[in-house]
A and B are shown apart, each in its own frame.
Chain A
């Protein structure tokens, strides 16, 4: 049997935040440290998250703002280390793809393709080989040689997506990237994602577009205040999420007080 490409076993992640306001000056920190007045609170961004994703499956991640969706993707990308638990990811992952990531306003679209590719850990040769494909997919016409600062939001998103999906990754982590493109670009993206699934590439997709999620994903993971509320077939989970949203909104993680360390 093929091993699942993503496995989370009881993954918890806590952000330690300072009570009152955050200390941002050295002076203040020194005073507090000396007077032992450091009060921390912990914000549970993920609590005991367990799920597995089989290779070639697309999983939608839904939940209210602040539920921990982006945090979960960052753990899967190896950027954040879980406080507890194990996260196993098999296969070369693409980094978390978010909008406007690491684009340099003064450089042209073409230059940014190389810069962005380097950020995503690709080699110069790989980018050169893929350049035409990326330019074609982004389909920005002559804007490709203009500085990014002359682009609209959607155009930047197209470029970001084009770089992201033209890649030899086995796992794609997408954080709300489909929201800004126009209708024709969205169709193109969906076709591309479908092609990825057919090729056996695993996709984790964070999205607030529930219809799109049902359409594109096999399973859906519903996060509620950092915990898994439901994980199962897309249509079912989305339906119960919708039902719960109708009952009343909820925002944010769970803040709890923590003993000062040491």
Chain B
């Protein structure tokens, strides 16, 4: 083979791990990335028939529960098609929460691997985010079914969703990188974060409209980047409108800041991983 004729010089002491090199490594390992995503999906769907349907069934069941609770027990004024209202944000929040939680487990789980193979360590968070995205897209199938069934209008604005997904995925990846790196060092981070995501869900207008938030607490909700990111997914589906300029601006800022911060912190902490896994 041609490639093997050229000797590769590798000097362990010289090697500077730069942020950019990790990125290049990631591109070099795209086959592994693809295999990791495929593994996530096949392990989830293949061995259990219910696995595949569960992704679809989950929103349906949730819808029934929440429709009963919030359409009959607590009513929010002025929300028609509550199931659509709720699911159009809950699905992306679920993607965020699941992916960031799973990334932590996945990095720790793959610790044994990192000790033996030279892989870009961020590949586990990236692959978890990608397989989460596939699941998210699948979960939109029942959402559209529900919308048809409940007579909610489906507008062309749903074509905006890929952009929403992209920004949410960037934000999710950034948070995943940050947290998974911390979780390698401290095992309680994972437990604390599980509680935190639960709280975060109530700090984000998902089950309630932002209009019911008292004025003095509004700044907290507004400071939560997820408030804007979930609106990015809700507007094109529920409101039949494109998200407003300030929502887009806030989302882009949140996505970029999270990704850069996550990447840099991950990168710094990754040097010491081998001591902890």
A74 contacts chain B at the CB level, 8 A cutoff: yes
Beyond A29-B186, A86-B12, A104-B43, whether A78 also contacts B7 by CB under 8 A is no
A21 contacts chain B at the CB level, 8 A cutoff: no
Shortest A123–chain B CB gap in Å is 5
Cβ-closest chain A residue relative to B4? A168
- B7 partner, pick from A11, A91, A98, beta carbons under 8 A: A91
Task: Say whether B39 contacts A107, CB under 8 Å.
Answer: yes
Cβ-closest chain A residue relative to B189? A26
A114 contacts chain B at the CB level, 8 A cutoff: yes
Q: Which of B8, B9, B13, B182 has the most CB of A within 10 A?
A: B13
Measured in the bound complex, the distance between the Cα atoms of B190 and A127 in whole Å is: 36
Task: Say whether B31 contacts A95, CB under 8 Å.
Answer: no
Give residues 111-138 of A contacting B (CB, 8 Å).
111, 114-115, 118-124
A96 contacts chain B at the CB level, 8 A cutoff: yes
Task: Say whether B186 contacts A115, CB under 8 Å.
Answer: no
Measured in the bound complex, the distance between the Cα atoms of B261 and A15 in whole Å is: 28
Shortest A156–chain B CB gap in Å is 14
Task: Give the contact stretch, choosing among B53-61, B89-97, B115-123, B150-158.
Answer: B115-123
Contacts of A25 in B (CB 8 A): 186-188
Contacts of B185 in A (CB 8 A): 26, 29
- Chain A, 51-85, contact with B by CB distance < 8 Å: what is the 0/1 string? 00000000000000000000000111111111011
Task: Say whether B13 contacts A85, CB under 8 Å.
Answer: yes
Task: Say whether A101 contacts B43, CB under 8 Å.
Answer: no
Beyond A24-B186, A115-B39, A168-B1, whether A90 also contacts B116 by CB under 8 A is no
Cβ-closest chain B residue relative to A7? B11
Shortest A144–chain B CB gap in Å is 17
Measured in the bound complex, the distance between the Cα atoms of B9 and A91 in whole Å is: 7
Task: Say whether A107 contacts B43, CB under 8 Å.
Answer: yes
Measured in the bound complex, the distance between the Cα atoms of B28 and A115 in whole Å is: 15
Task: Say whether B32 contacts A119, CB under 8 Å.
Answer: yes
Measured in the bound complex, the distance between the Cα atoms of B253 and A197 in whole Å is: 56
Task: Say whether B31 contacts A122, CB under 8 Å.
Answer: yes
Beyond A82-B12, A87-B13, A92-B8, whether A119 also contacts B117 by CB under 8 A is yes
Q: Which secondary structure dominates chain B's binding surface?
A: helix
Give residues 246-277 of B contacting A (CB, 8 Å).
271, 274-275
B29 contacts chain A at the CB level, 8 A cutoff: yes
Shortest B4–chain A CB gap in Å is 5
Measured in the bound complex, the distance between the Cα atoms of B144 and A152 in whole Å is: 47
User: Interface residues of A, CB < 8 Å — how many?
Assistant: 49
Contacts of A93 in B (CB 8 A): 10
A88 contacts chain B at the CB level, 8 A cutoff: yes
B34 contacts chain A at the CB level, 8 A cutoff: yes
Shortest A97–chain B CB gap in Å is 8
Shortest A51–chain B CB gap in Å is 14
Task: Say whether A86 contacts B13, CB under 8 Å.
Answer: yes
Task: Say whether B31 contacts A74, CB under 8 Å.
Answer: no
B15 contacts chain A at the CB level, 8 A cutoff: yes
B77 contacts chain A at the CB level, 8 A cutoff: no
- Chain A, 190-201, contact with B by CB distance < 8 Å: what is the 0/1 string? 000000000000
B192 contacts chain A at the CB level, 8 A cutoff: yes
Cβ-closest chain B residue relative to A112? B39
Task: Say whether A119 contacts B42, CB under 8 Å.
Answer: no
Task: Say whether A120 contacts B4, CB under 8 Å.
Answer: no
Measured in the bound complex, the distance between the Cα atoms of B271 and A24 in whole Å is: 17
A102 contacts chain B at the CB level, 8 A cutoff: yes
- B42 partner, pick from A29, A74, A102, A111, beta carbons under 8 A: A111
Q: Enumerate 25 A-B pairs (CB-CB under 8 Å) in ascending A order.
A: A24-B186, A25-B186, A26-B182, A26-B185, A26-B186, A26-B188, A27-B188, A77-B116, A79-B116, A85-B13, A87-B12, A88-B9, A88-B12, A89-B11, A89-B12, A90-B8, A96-B116, A101-B116, A102-B117, A106-B47, A107-B42, A118-B29, A118-B36, A122-B31, A124-B31
In order of increasing CB-CB distance, the 4 nearest A-B pairs are A26-B186, A118-B35, A87-B12, A118-B32
With A86-B13, A92-B8 already in contact, 8 other A-B pairs whose C-beta atoms are closer than 8 Å: A79-B274, A81-B13, A81-B15, A87-B12, A102-B117, A118-B36, A119-B35, A124-B31
Q: Which residues of A contact B (CB under 8 A)?
A: 11, 15-17, 23-27, 29, 74-82, 84-93, 95-96, 98, 101-102, 104, 106-107, 111, 114-115, 118-124, 168, 170
